[in-house]
Amino acid sequence: MAEIQFYHLLTTPLERALPKLMEKALESGMRSVVRVDSETLMHQLNDALWTYDEHSFLPHGIMDSPHAWQQPIHITCRDENPNGAKVLVVTDGSQVAQPDDYSKILDMFDGHDPACVANARTRWKQYQDAGAAVTYIKQQSGGGWKKMAS
């Protein structure tokens, strides 16, 4: 089963936190799928990966774009993996139906929304009950991350 990492967003929004995590995945040679709950957010993240750093960008594609299988990062509203990704980033608060399809699942949730936090706790328990290795990573005041529990 995949390693599940819960990322508790507290100081920066998803649009600023995601690119740094995608950089790390790319540096390790892993392809990623980012699953979102709306086309609006998909387009916001698409823009963020192009503009988050004035000196670089993260190569990626979005749902229904040509050559999705070639992109190291794919952003989608669907449960799909057209690029053979081993990293799945879940931003829509959903439980992953086939966690064994990935090496790592990053579950990112808004720490300022009580419903999102409660839902993340429910997913944590479900993954634990299924025997997955689960890690809780909390965003720090400077935007960095600290492993809090596993």
Strands 3-9 and 104-110: what pairing? Answer: parallel
Residue pLDDT tens, the chain, 150 long: 789 999 999 999 999 999 999 999 999 999 999 999 999 999 999 999 999 888 888 999 999 999 999 999 999 999 999 999 999 999 989 888 888 899 999 999 999 999 999 999 999 999 999 999 999 999 999 888 999 988
Nearest residue to 14 via CA among 124, 135, 120, 112: 112
Domains of the chain: 3-149 (3.40.50.10110)
User: 54 burial class (0-12, 13-18, 19+ CB within 10 angstroms)?
Assistant: exposed
Q: State pTM to two decimals.
A: 0.94
Cα-Cα-Cα-Cα torsion 61, 79, 15, 69, nearest 10 degrees, comes to -20
